[in-house]
Amino acid sequence: MGRYTDNPNAIAALVRGGEVHRDVYIDEELYRLEMRHLFANTWVFVGHDSQTPNKGDYYTTQIGDQPVIMVRHTDNEIKVLYNRCPHKGTKIAIDRTGNTGKFFRCPYHAWSFKTDGCLLAIPLKKGYQDTGFDDSNAKPGMRAVGAVKNYRGFVFARLAEDGISFEDFFNGSLTSFDNMVDRSPAGRLEVAGPPLRYMHQCNWKMLVENQTDTCHPMVAHESSAGTAVQIWKEMGYTEDDPKPPAMEIIAPFMSPYEFFEDMGIRTWPNGHGHTGVHHSIHSKYSEIPGYMEAMHAAYGPERTQGILAENRHNTVYFPNIMIKGPIQQLRNFIPLGPNRTLVESWIYRLVDAPDELLARTAMYNRMINAPTSIVGHDDLEMYERAQEGLHASGNDWVNVQRLYPGPEDFSAEQVENGTTERQMRNQFDAWVRFMTADMPGASAAMQEAAE
């Protein structure tokens, strides 16, 4: 037990206005506390329900460091269970995905469980007669997590039995999910294959912060996007010439500071926020033949216009995912240690929309997010340099002070200049509250905020 365990005041002292202590990125104890508290008390993304379309279909992943199984139960509902046999602790499912039929069966002693986790059968059951087994911790079977919510196909879970409700946690931020799903004429998304997986040797929070960092693209991505734009000009084309899809995607990364200032940043309570309030790097993509017609048929012209006028750039859902509504992507930043993060980059098909839309989404994923991309590596190098540089002595603090107006209130939705670091400060405000919400001695104010 170190200095931060059960010490909410020491944790709160790590965040002070425009500065954050470097321990939040590099300290082993804080990382373990994030797993125990932050990832247990918040609503964490698990998967999309189209990954498990049929009864018995399952998908294994983790919430913080907890291994879980998302499974479609016999009543068609999605359940999220801890991936652990109540007998000896054996992991029940090892494959990422599969169909278990009507029940799970432990490979060690063949205890079996319904797909909601209830104990179904034990071989040689008479051996438990008159042993008090009904009162044991094994009798309830595989344990379900504290709470599960399927929001328009996106499945979230809260590990803690008690805590903030899904609606109170996300409040107005769900409009970004709504916009992404509404872009399907059928109002439905389907996962398009497994995600791209990409290991990063840095703290997971660096990736989350980068999603609303609008002052780095024209600098860090100059070597990739800048080169593409330069070659485009050398070929004799101008800014306004029609571009092939790859150029449409990469050129906006070189937009000037004013473009990002004007786009705006919106923050919501509990650490959520998005860039691209007024416009974004996705605003000027060319029309896909047939799409507008399908949208008009489904929604009528006025509502279609409302849906497609919204071109949010990156929406951060605290603690650890980001979505891009206009191109149907979700990136999951899965912590594997204080200096190790697995990024999963998922793409989705708009049901009843032309295939060209999915082709553009897939191209974006390959070009920008993949291990083979030309843009994602720029960011990765910055994260890894920061992870190393933070061990340097002489300064214990990281600066998040851009457009800091003095003590801030994050309890209401707010729109600001698109280059503010307010969203990063919003994340750390939420970080302190949810890290300490269930610690003994947490202030009454913190408890209240998390309820």
Instruction: Specify the residue, 379 or 429, whose C-beta has the smaller distance to Fe ion.
Output: 379
Q: In this structure, are strands 265-268 and 414-416 parallel, antiparallel, or unpaired? A: antiparallel
In whole angstroms, the minimum distance from the beta carbon of 410 to Fe ion comes to 25
DSSP 8-state class, residue 143: P
In whole angstroms, the minimum distance from the beta carbon of 227 to Fe ion comes to 15
Sign, CA torsion 190/104/336/196:
negative
Sign, CA torsion 401/402/405/410:
negative
In whole angstroms, the minimum distance from the beta carbon of 201 to Fe ion comes to 17
In whole angstroms, the minimum distance from the beta carbon of 297 to Fe ion comes to 37
Instruction: Specify the residue, 349 or 366, whose C-beta has the smaller distance to Fe ion.
Output: 366
In whole angstroms, the minimum distance from the beta carbon of 281 to Fe ion comes to 11
- Which of 425, 431, 430, 433 minimizes the C-alpha distance to 213? 425
Q: At what angle do helices 301-309 and 291-299 cross, to 10 degrees?
A: 120
Which residues of this protein are in contact with Fe ion, per CB under 5 A? 379
CA distance 46 to 356: 28
Instruction: Specify the residue, 118 or 219, whose C-beta has the smaller distance to Fe ion.
Output: 219
- Retrieve residue 143's tokens: 């344990």
Instruction: Specify the residue, 379 or 421, whose C-beta has the smaller distance to Fe ion.
Output: 379
Residues 6+ apart with CB under 8 A from 111: 85, 86, 87, 105, 119, 121, 122, 123
Instruction: Specify the residue, 248 or 379, whose C-beta has the smaller distance to Fe ion.
Output: 379
Instruction: Specify the residue, 19 or 379, whose C-beta has the smaller distance to Fe ion.
Output: 379
Determine contact, residues 312/277, Cβ cutoff 8 Å. yes
Residue nearest Fe ion, CB atom distance: 379
Q: CA 316 → CA 25, 41, 82, 176, 388, distances in Å?
A: 18, 17, 26, 10, 25
DSSP characters over 28-67: HHHHHHIIIIIHHHS-EEEEEGGGS-STTEEEEEEETTEE
In whole angstroms, the minimum distance from the beta carbon of 379 to Fe ion comes to 4
Instruction: Specify the residue, 8 or 326, whose C-beta has the smaller distance to Fe ion.
Output: 326
Instruction: Specify the residue, 344 or 379, whose C-beta has the smaller distance to Fe ion.
Output: 379
In whole angstroms, the minimum distance from the beta carbon of 260 to Fe ion comes to 12
Instruction: Specify the residue, 173 or 369, whose C-beta has the smaller distance to Fe ion.
Output: 369
CA distance 119 to 133: 12
- Retrieve residue 31's tokens: 């990382």
In whole angstroms, the minimum distance from the beta carbon of 282 to Fe ion comes to 15
DSSP 8-state class, residue 390: T
- Retrieve residue 67's tokens: 């291994």
In whole angstroms, the minimum distance from the beta carbon of 354 to Fe ion comes to 29
